[in-house]
Chains A and B, each alone.
Chain A
Amino acid sequence: MISSNRPLSPHLQVYRPQITSTLSILHRLTGVALALGTLLLTYWLIAAASGPEAFADAQGLIGSILGRLVLFGWTFALFFHLCNGIRHLAWDAGYGFEIETTTRSGWVVVGASVVLTLVCWVAGYVAMAGA
Chain B
Amino acid sequence: MSLRSPLARVRGLGSAKDGTSHWWAQRLTALALIPLTVWFCISVIAMSGADYVTVATWAGSPLVGGLLILLIVATFYHGALGLQVVIEDYVHREMVKLVMLLVVKATSLVLALTGILSVLILLFSRT
With beta carbons under 8 angstroms apart, the residue of B1, B48, B50, B83 that contacts A5 is B1
Query: Which residues of the partner chain A approach B121 to less than 8 Å between Cβ atoms?
Result: 49
Chain A interface residue count, CB cutoff 8 Å, equals 37
Assuming the contacts A35-B82, A89-B31, asked whether A78 and B41 have C-beta atoms less than 8 A apart, the reply is yes
> Does A61 lie at the interface of the complex (its beta carbon under 8 Å from any beta carbon of B)?
no
Query: Which residues of the partner chain B approach A31 to less than 8 Å between Cβ atoms?
Result: 79, 82-83, 86
Mask of A16-56 contacts with B, CB within 8 angstroms, 1/0: 00000000000010011011001101100110110010011
Q: How far is the CA of A126 from the CA of B49 in the complex (A)?
A: 10
Chain B interface residue count, CB cutoff 8 Å, equals 39
> Does A100 lie at the interface of the complex (its beta carbon under 8 Å from any beta carbon of B)?
no
Q: How far is the CA of A48 from the CA of B44 in the complex (A)?
A: 13
With beta carbons under 8 angstroms apart, the residue of A1, A38, A86 that contacts B111 is A38
With beta carbons under 8 angstroms apart, the residue of B5, B37, B115, B125 that contacts A3 is B5
Q: How far is the CA of A17 from the CA of B3 in the complex (A)?
A: 26
Query: Which residues of the partner chain A approach B48 to less than 8 Å between Cβ atoms?
Result: 124-125, 127-128, 131
Tell me how many residue pairs across A and B have CB atoms closer than 8 Å.
93
Contact B5 A89 (CB under 8 A): no
> Does A85 lie at the interface of the complex (its beta carbon under 8 Å from any beta carbon of B)?
yes
> Does A112 lie at the interface of the complex (its beta carbon under 8 Å from any beta carbon of B)?
no
> Does B95 lie at the interface of the complex (its beta carbon under 8 Å from any beta carbon of A)?
no
> Does A120 lie at the interface of the complex (its beta carbon under 8 Å from any beta carbon of B)?
yes
Q: How far is the CA of A86 from the CA of B118 in the complex (A)?
A: 30
Mask of B18-33 contacts with A, CB within 8 angstroms, 1/0: 0000000001001101
Q: Which residue of B lies closest to A1 (CB)?
A: B6
Q: How far is the CA of A38 from the CA of B40 in the complex (A)?
A: 13
| 6 residue pairs from A and B, CB less than 8 Å apart | A1-B5, A41-B115, A78-B37, A88-B30, A120-B45, A131-B48
* 7 closest Cβ pairs, A-B complex: A131-B49, A49-B118, A128-B49, A45-B118, A49-B121, A35-B79, A128-B48
Chain A residues with a Cβ under 8 A of chain B: 1-3, 5-7, 28, 31-32, 34-35, 38-39, 41-42, 45-46, 48-49, 52, 55-56, 75, 78, 82, 85-86, 88-89, 92, 120, 123-125, 127-128, 131
Chain B residues with a Cβ under 8 A of chain A: 1, 3, 5-7, 27, 30-31, 33-34, 37-38, 41, 45-50, 52, 55-56, 59, 68, 75-76, 79, 82-83, 86, 111, 114-115, 117-119, 121-122, 125
